[in-house]
Structures are given as structure tokens and as C-alpha cells.
Amino acid sequence: MSQTNQTWVTEFLFLGLSDDPQTQLLLFILFLIIYLVTALGNLLLIILVLADSKLQMPMYFFLCNLSVADLCFSTSIVPQALVHMLTRRKLISFMGCAAQLFLFLIFGCAGCALLSVMSYDRYVAICNPMHYPLIMTRKVCIQLAVGCWVGGVLVSIVDTTFTLQVPYQGDNKIAHFFCEAPALLALGSADTHLAETVIFLMGVVILLAPVSLILVSYGSIIVTVVRMKTTSGRLKAFSTCGSHLIAVTIFYVSAIMTYMTPKSSKEQGKLVSIFYAVIAPMFNPLIYSLRNKEVQRAFRNTIIKGPPCKL
């Protein structure tokens, strides 16, 4: 096809979640509440882990990293979406869209990897408690966390590069509320098969591989818990694992539906993305830690009484 009459896209126009002003106002209020809870919850967890010496354990170290990823992940999407819900023309420059895509993928992919590392940490703690201090040393924890962040950066570079190398000419209306690879590729002026294949393969690395590790880890945990002699120990372990699996399910199922399944409708795609891009970052601190007794104790000591003075 000849593209001589088409101009290169310099900015994109989001179609958003709705055209109705009243619906957009309701969405604005809902998204604002979710973002405030997300920001406050994750910031609080980060402060508590850094301030309380009794939370200097591998589990909370990884939770702190996950909170950083979730906070940045949500911030790369929601504030701009909130602004667009109050404006008629939802515009973003090409470079702005590229930056959002790149940052969104870094923090999202790092979060994926951190969730799998956290499941491994729980597996070692419950299934091999005697060797836990020897296996999950400070050095190993730092290496695992760095690996998660480096993996997020590498996957983001690959996905962003292959998404943006597709020529965008003519149509610039994104049927979404933020710059996401599948929604952008739908506007490509050339064959997008290579980019879609690469993104699928990256999805195998950053989505299916971590999910497999999580399922194996929690499968082993469940077997170990069932064999526990004390009822209280079983209930505590099941409560912890159950809440973790809820968070994992919300994030991974919705992300896999977007990146690992055949092309779905545009409406379905942007609605599904709300779960992993907006809701999951809010639930993680609530499910993983703020209901934890140790975190509640740290909250009382740090926020109410204030951090201890060190002379």
C-alpha cells in the first residue's frame, strides 16, 4: 500500500474509557480514590520497612521493592489519566507516549519478577525453615532484587523498541486510556507481526515463567501446610498464602489476558488493563502487609510514637 499521502504521527489522542461527561466524572473520582490509597499504602509500607529495624527481613525487603514498583507503576499511568478525564481532547506527544510505555513496562515487569521472588521466599520460609537464614542471606536478597529490576529494564527496552519501530502514519486515535503496546500496535501502518511475536515471547519470560514458579512454590507450601500438626499453624499459613494468591491472580490473569492471548476487542482490552494497571497496585500493600501484625506494630511504633532516637 502506498503511504505517500499519510503523515507521520507526532501526537496521539486517547479515546479513554467513556465519552459521557458524567461517567468520566465518576471515573475521575473512583480513579482518584484508588490512586490516593495506592500512593499512601505503598509509601507507608516503604517508610515502615526503612524505619523499623524489626522489619529488616527478606520478606519485607522484597515487599519494600514491590511497593516502590507499584507506586511508580501506578504513577506512570493514573495521574495523566485523571487529567484526561477532565479534558475534552486527551492528547499526548509521541515522545511522551514512548516515555510512558517505557516506564510502565519497567515497573510492571519488575513487579512481576518480584512477585515470583516473594513466592520463593515464602516457600523457603515454610518448607525449609531450618535452612532459611542460610539460603536467604542479605547478599542473595540483594542479588534477587537487582535481578528483578534489571529484568524489568531489559524487557521494557525490547518491548518498547519493537513497538516504536513500527511506522505510525495517519490514524492517531488510541482506543485506550494510556500508552500500551497492544493498543499502539493496532495503529501501526505496516505489518506488526514481528513486534507482536517479540512481545509475546517477552510475555513468556516475564509473565508465564514467574507464574509457573509461583504455582510450584505455593503447591509445595500447601503440601507442607497440610502436614502441619498444629491447627493454628495451618490456619495462619493458609491465610497468608490465600491473600498472596488473590493479589497474584488479580495481576497475572489480567496481564496474561492482554499480552498472551489472541487479539481481543478494544473495549475488553482497556477494561482488563484496569485490573493490573490501577487496581493491583492498590491491593498489594493491603493484602501483603498492612494486615500483618508485625507491620501493624511497626505502624504504631513509627507513626504514633515516632521513630526511636539514635544517639
Residue 8 lies in a domain: no
pLDDT in tens, 234-263: 666 666 677 677 778 888 888 888 888 766
**Which among 145, 187, 146 is positioned nearest to 164, based on CA atoms?**
187
The whole domain housing 238 covers 13-304
How far apart CA 87 and CA 114 sit, in angstroms, is 36
Residue labelled with grid coordinates 499504602: 41
pLDDT in tens, 117-143: 999 998 998 888 899 999 999 999 999
DSSP per-residue string spanning 242-273: HHHHHHHHHHHHHHHHHHSSS---HHHHHHHH
Mean pLDDT for the chain overall: 85
How far apart CA 41 and CA 59 sit, in angstroms, is 17
The end-to-end CA distance of the chain, in Å, is: 74
Query: pLDDT band at 308, cuts 50/70/90?
Result: very low
Residue 311 in this model has a pLDDT that exceeds 70: no
Q: What pTM does this model have? A: 0.88
pLDDT in tens, 24-55: 999 999 999 999 999 999 998 898 888 877 88
Angle between helices 231-259 and 266-274 (to 10 degrees): 150
Residue 127 lies in a domain: yes
Residue 7 lies in a domain: no
DSSP β-bridge partners for residue 36: none
pLDDT in tens, 62-85: 999 999 999 999 999 999 999 999
Alpha-carbon separation of residue 274 from 65, 180, 211, 268 (angstroms): 22, 12, 20, 10
- For range 271-297, the mean pLDDT: 81
How far apart CA 158 and CA 160 sit, in angstroms, is 6
**What local confidence, expressed as pLDDT, does residue 286 receive?**
81
Q: What is the CATH number of the domain that holds 150?
A: 1.20.1070.10
Residue 4 lies in a domain: no
Residue 56 in this model has a pLDDT that exceeds 90: no
How far apart CA 284 and CA 41 sit, in angstroms, is 9
* 3-state percent breakdown (helix, strand, coil) of the chain, nearest 5: 75, 5, 20
Residue 309 lies in a domain: no
Residue 168 lies in a domain: yes
CB-neighbour burial class of residue 47 (10 A; exposed 0-12, middle 13-18, buried 19+): middle
Residue 26 lies in a domain: yes
Total domain count, the chain: 1
pLDDT in tens, 191-229: 889 999 999 999 999 999 998 999 898 888 888 877 776
**What local confidence, expressed as pLDDT, does residue 225 receive?**
79
**Which cell goes with 178?**
494510556
**What local confidence, expressed as pLDDT, does residue 132 receive?**
92
| CB atoms closer than 10 angstroms to residue 231 | 8
Residue 311 lies in a domain: no
